[in-house]
Amino acid sequence: MDELQRLQHWYRKQCNEDWEHTFGVTIETLDNPGWHVSIDLIETELEQKPFASISHGDSEDDADWIICTVEKSQFVASGGAGNLTELLGVFLSWAEA
């Protein structure tokens, strides 16, 4: 199963006729260029789960970079234009562990 299918599966598991009306998943583009992903963790099994921030590369100098963290009950990740799959993979590896 690829990252998009795994993310869809995780999202479906959260939908309980309430959560999806307030929370969700956002994938946006950045102008440097790159990707920004935010995933709400409130009222999920991940809300209190520890996450060790991950980063590599430099968003100013490299095309291949990521920054992933959890802040304010959200998984927040940004990365280069070719790193969307990696960003989703970081989230899913943590979520499925």
Domain ranges of the chain: 3-96
What pLDDT is stored for residue 53 in this prediction? 97
Q: Where are the beta strands (DSSP E) in the chain?
A: 25-30, 34-40, 54-56, 66-71, 74-80
What pLDDT is stored for residue 4 in this prediction? 94
**Mean per-residue pLDDT, 28-47:** 96
pLDDT above 80 for 27: yes
64 with 44: CB under 8 angstroms?
no
**Mean per-residue pLDDT, 46-63:** 88
What pLDDT is stored for residue 70 in this prediction? 98
pTM of the model: 0.93
Q: Is 5 left (phi over 0), alpha (psi -120 to 50) or beta?
A: alpha
As a whole number, the mean pLDDT across the chain is: 94
Strand order from edge to edge, sheet including 54-56: 25-30, 34-40, 74-80, 66-71, 54-56
